[in-house]
Structure formats: C-alpha cells, structure tokens
Structure 1
C-alpha cells in the first residue's frame, strides 16, 4: 500500500468522516430508543435535557463548563435566538446553571441525569456492538491516539482546532467506563474536530453558516469539501496507512 497515494491523511479524512458519522449516529439513536427517551422524560423531556446530552462529555466532568464560544460553535447551524431560548428553559428547569459571564455548568440534578445517561449508553452500546469486542477495543485505542494528537496540537497551535472541539474535549471518561461508551464519545469528539475544519473552510471561502447550507453541489462545494479534508487531516498522521485501513474496516463492520 502506498501511504502517499492511497490513504494519505487528507484522503483518509474524507473517507472516514461518513463512517464515523454512521457509527456515532447508530449509538446515539440506540441510546434514545432503548431508554434514553424515557430517561429524558423523567427529567422534564428534551426541553430540559437536550443541551446536557449534546455537551455531556464536558458537563459530566467535575467542574465541566461550556463557554459562549463553544456553545455558539456547536450550534452554529441553528438559529441563535432559538438556542438561547432553549438554554433559558433548561436553566429554568434546574438542569443547568448559567454564570454571569455566560458560561454554564450542570446542576446537581443535571449531573444526576448525566450519570444515568452514561449508564444508558453503556447498556445500549454493549448490546448494539455485541460480538464485536475486538473491533471496538481497536477503535477505542485508535481514536484515543487521534484525540491525544489533536489536543496536543491545539495546545501548541490554537488555530489547529476550533471552538466546538475545544468545548467537547477531552471527553469525560469516568473510571470503569466500558469500551462502548468510550468509543461513542471519542467518535463524537472527532466529529467536532471535522466540524470545525469544515467551518474554517467555508469561512475562508467567504460563506456563512446560512449560505453554506444553501450551496448546491458543484465545483465550489467540492473545493470546500477538499479544503475541509485538508484541515481535518492533522490527527490522522498518528496512524500508519495500515492502521487507517483497519479503522475503516472496523467502522464498516460495526452494526447500526
């Protein structure tokens, strides 16, 4: 295999993104369908819990805080006023505490919800990916290396990663968390790394969150996607070409 031609980091970034999206979505949807929706209802429903779920990897950590820049980055494709109203509701429900500087943390009730949510994700990923233990463990290890590389780069060069990645990493991994939970949340963090790369690419091309959503397929869209791959490629140098191929094969083999 030629690392330079067949699976160079920027090419791999484009290939692996939809595979990561599929496996991550399968785990999140399974969590919702196999207990997550009922759990949410016990705490007030989506109106009370949605941002806790979305920012779980930061808010579940001791002292975990979401800052305004990170919140705006994660919700960049949604209406800002609607997001603020939704956040206001979750503060009113007593699930989140908002500080005068605009940062927010989970309340005691919010932390109780997150503890139960992590347990739901543990149970559903164990069932969803049963029989694939070796693949899950390989992916957990590979994703861990990728995140470590990206976090080190972010410390060295603030422009190497954006605000969405910064506010969701490192993902909170409580002691004893099973491999399925580790994989789900590490994949989620990698998705935010690419999301920031995509935003940087369309911003450099003169677009806004609104205009990029309306941009039709064509040369300009393709150029932005290729630039996204280039910007998202950094962490993948942490894997050899053979390891990149193994990651693709393991992701493809996981049910969901």
Structure 2
C-alpha cells in the first residue's frame, strides 16, 4: 500500500480528528455518569475539581506542574476572565496550589481526587469497551507511537511547539495503568495537539480562537481547517498508511 496515494498524514489528520473526539468524549461522559460526578461532589463539585480533571495527565504526575502559558493555551477557547475566576475557586477549595508566577500543581487533596478519578476511568472504560480488548490494545500501541513522535517533533520545534500539548503531554502513565485509561489519556493529549495546530492555523489567517470558531462554513473556514490538518499531521507519520486505516476502523468500532 502506498502512503502517498492511499492515506497521507494530512488527510488522515482530518479524518481521525472527529473519531478521536467521539471516543474520547464517550470515555469522559462514561466517567462522569459512572461515578465521576458523585466523586466530584465529595470533593466540592465541579467548582473544586474541574481543572484537576482537565489537567490530570500532568498534575497527577509526581511534581507535575502547569505553567501560566499552558493554562492559557488549554483554555484558549473559553472566556479568560471566567477561567481565572474558576481557578481562583479551585485554589480556595484547596485542590490546586498556585505560585506567584502562575504555576499550578495539585495539593494533597487534589492528588487524592486524581487517584480516585483514575480508578473511575479504569472501571468505566473497561465496561464501555468490553469485548473490544484487541482494538483497545492496538489503539493504545498506535497512539503511543504517535504521541512519542509528537513529543520528538515538539522538542525539535522548541519555542514554536504548541503550548496546550506541552501542558498535557506526555500523559502520566504509572505502572499498571489499565489499557482503557491509557487510551483515554493518549487521545486527550492528541486532541490538544490538534487544538494547537488549529490555533496556529487561525493566527496565520488573521484570527484568534474566538473569531476562528465563529466563522461560518465557507472558503475561509475551509482554508483554516486544511491548514490545521497540515499542521496536525506530523505525528501520524509514525504510522504506515495501512496502520492509519486500521486506527480509523478501530476507533469507529468502539462503542460510545
């Protein structure tokens, strides 16, 4: 099979994005409905836990921190004033510590919540994707290679690398992490890789995050989407064209 003819990385980037969104969203929703919402309430509710969940792949790691640039990048599609107010509440709840420079890390209470949400995600993804063990393992392996290559490319890009991806990758994967959690978090970090690509494509077209997402369907939006695909494509060169097709098939077959 020819990579150039069958499924080049930039074409794959556009096709895989909605599939990744669907599977990741299904896992997160299952976590919320399968005990995550109740768990959050025990720690103060979404007002106390929201950013811990969002930044879990970094903040759960020993010594894991998120800097102000990374926080702004991950939340770029939301009102910054609202995000700061929400963060203030989570600091006040004692879930997140914020240093004078804006750096964030989980408190002991925050780490306890993250340990429990890891268990919730393990249980719900095992149930959600029951009977699809082989598919999950193939996807874990494939996105592991994609993620590793994305980190290599980001290191080579240096200051030009995407800040949202840098704030969430590599995901924390302690020994014994179940395949469903590995897949959920690897998909999540690659979503931020695409978000960075979209932000860069939007900026190149003279838009910020808000104005780009508000564009109606048409040539200008299409051009940004195509440039996003091009910028997001690099890590998928870690897969052969046949493997890319397999990833699409496996994602499509997962329930959710």
Please indicate the TM-score interval, normalised by the length of the shorter structure: over 0.9
Deviation at 1:159, TM superposition (A): 5.5
Aligned to 2:51: 51
The aligned residue for residue 84 of structure 1 is 84
Partner residue in 2 for 1:108: 108
Task: For 1:210 and 1:153, locate their aligned partners in 2 and report how far apart those are by CA, in whole Å.
Answer: 27
State the shift of 1:158 in Å: 2.0
Provide the alpha-carbon RMSD of the alignment. 0.8
Aligned length: 256
Separation in structure 1 between the aligned mates of residue 249 and residue 108 of structure 2, nearest angstrom? 41
Mapped to 2, the partners of 1:239 and 1:176 lie a distance apart of: 25
Distance of 1:112 and 1:66 partners within structure 2: 18
Separation (CA, whole Å) in 2 of partners of 1:228 and 1:234: 11
* SS of structure 1 residue aligned to 2:4: coil
Residue 64 of structure 1: SS of its match in structure 2?
A: coil
SS at 1:105 equivalent = strand
Name the residue aligned to 2:179: 179
Q: TM-score, normalised by structure 1?
A: 0.98
Q: 1:151 — aligned with what? A: 151
2 CA distance for matches of 1:214 and 1:229?
Answer: 19
Residue 166 (structure 1) aligns with: 166
CA drift of 1:160 comes to: 6.0
Q: Is the 8 A contact 2:155 2:161 kept in 1?
A: no
d(CA) in 2 for partners of 1:250, 1:230: 23
In structure 1, runs of 5+ residues without a counterpart are: none
Secondary structure in 1 matching 2:6: coil
Deviation at 1:105, TM superposition (A): 0.4
Q: Distance in 1 between matches of 2:27 and 2:214?
A: 29
Shift in Å, 1:6: 2.5
> Matched residue of 1:53: which SS?
helix
Give the corresponding residue for 1:33. Answer: 33
TM-score by length of 2: 0.98
Is 1:194 the equivalent of 2:194?
A: yes
Match of 1:239 in 2: 239
Q: Residue in 2 aligned with 1:213?
A: 213
C-alpha separation between the residues in 2 aligned to 1:191 and 1:254?
18
Q: Which runs of 4+ in 1 moved over 4 A?
A: none
